């Protein structure tokens, strides 16, 4: 496999185009007194736009990203995957693939990558960290046509072997949790998976207890109120692309609404629990790489592959760790239901947090991943 060093570019022409389009944006009316009820809130978007034009430092973000070593690996002819590849200095370090989803990026793991590789506590496990961008996202090439998460799992498996890691541990949320499930089923290289989202589901999802019935009722309500984006991106992504690829403010609104609706809003209902710079960093990755549309292809590919279900008669047998954040869009059902599809050896009900655990609660995610891997070692 051809693996080359990579430096994240600033893309100054793209930055200038984005700025011009943001400056030209014309606001419009919204229902009075309804906040985020009908979608992204105008007052918040006005604040985001003002900060974007006056204070956001994209060049500084790129410089921060380039503190990490990056590679691009040709996992199949004509398709290169971008990844942060942060080896550890520890002789006992284990390979770890940590995976983002939509509408995220490798930036979700910015604060924990170095700590995973070089833990402060010498008794904590250390990792050779690989954090790839999904095909069609950021600096990874896009496939010629939509591919689904099972195909991506195969590419990730090939990436790890190409980097010299025949055996590895996996961590993922959002799409990362779905990809992790397929790796757990299909890969001979995955030793264990740690998930902070409920991805692949057992073919038998019929509730058997009152607790399972309550979860299923909640999940159906979430489907009705929060997943219209999934249906659109999974069926007609090209039509959405014509609007979004020409509107930085449209992309910003589409993503910001998810960072609000899928996060823990206990402290504030008026804004997502992230800084404006954190949100704009992610938004600018999608814009400067022109990847908003190709990122949605994964949804179409998932439908073409057949959905989220574990094949009938199969179960994910590799040791599985669960970090269950209470305010996640993909919140876990009761453990009894999860264990129909997974060999759950570690489970933590988190005290707070939502969908974007690496950004929102990095300390909780880091601590739980370390505990899961330490438990694996003690079992071995």
Q: Are 98 and 171 in contact (CB under 8 A)?
A: yes
* 128 annotated active-site: no
334 vs 9: CA distance, rounded Å: 44
* 355 annotated active-site: yes
111 vs 128: CA distance, rounded Å: 16
Q: Which of 141, 174, 264, 368 is catalytic?
A: 174
Spatial CA neighbour of 365 closest among 329, 330, 321, 300 = 321
Neighbours of 36 (CB within 10 A): 17
* 174 annotated active-site: yes
Q: Which of 82, 137, 355, 368 is catalytic?
A: 355
Q: Which of 100, 299, 328, 368 is catalytic?
A: 299
Q: Annotated active-site positions, please?
A: 174, 299, 355
């Amino acid at each position: 496999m051809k693996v080359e060093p990579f430096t994240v570019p600033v893309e100054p022409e793209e930055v200038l185009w984005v700025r011009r389009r943001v400056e030209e944006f014309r606001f419009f009316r919204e229902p009075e007194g309804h906040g985020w009820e009908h979608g992204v809130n105008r007052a918040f978007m006005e604040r985001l736009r003002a900060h974007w034009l006056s204070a956001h430092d994209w060049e500084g973000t790129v410089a921060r990203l380039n503190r990490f070593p990056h590679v691009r690996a040709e996992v199949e002819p004509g398709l290169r995957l971008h990844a942060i590849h942060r080896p550890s200095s520890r002789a006992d370090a284990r390979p770890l693939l940590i995976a983002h989803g939509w509408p995220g990026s490798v930036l979700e793991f910015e604060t924990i990558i170095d700590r995973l590789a070089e833990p402060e506590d010498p008794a904590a496990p250390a990792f050779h960290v690989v954090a790839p961008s999904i095909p069609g996202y950021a600096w990874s090439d896009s496939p010629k046509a939509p591919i689904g998460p099972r195909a991506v799992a195969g590419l990730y498996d090939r990436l790890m072997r190409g980097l010299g890691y025949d055996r590895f541990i996996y961590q993922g949320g959002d799409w990362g949790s779905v990809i992790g499930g397929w790796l757990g089923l299909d890969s001979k290289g995955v030793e264990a998976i740690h998930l902070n989202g409920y991805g692949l589901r057992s073919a038998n999802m019929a509730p058997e207890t009152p607790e399972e019935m309550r979860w299923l009722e909640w999940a159906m309500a979430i489907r009705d109120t929060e997943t219209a984006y999934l249906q659109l991106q999974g069926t007609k992504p090209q039509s959405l692309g014509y609007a979004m690829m020409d509107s930085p403010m449209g992309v910003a609104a589409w993503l910001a609404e998810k960072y609000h609706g899928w996060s823990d809003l206990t402290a504030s209902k008026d804004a997502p629990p992230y800084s404006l710079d954190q949100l704009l960093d992610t938004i600018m990755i999608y814009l400067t790489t022109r990847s908003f549309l190709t990122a949605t292809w994964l949804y179409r590919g998932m439908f073409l592959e057949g959905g989220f279900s574990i094949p009938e008669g199969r179960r994910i047998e590799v040791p599985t760790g669960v970090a269950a954040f209470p305010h996640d869009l993909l919140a876990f059902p009761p453990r009894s239901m999860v264990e129909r599809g997974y060999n759950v050896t570690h489970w933590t009900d988190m005290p707070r947090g939502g969908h974007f655990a690496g950004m929102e609660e990095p300390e909780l995610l880091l601590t739980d991943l370390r505990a899961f891997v330490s438990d694996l070692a003690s079992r071995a």
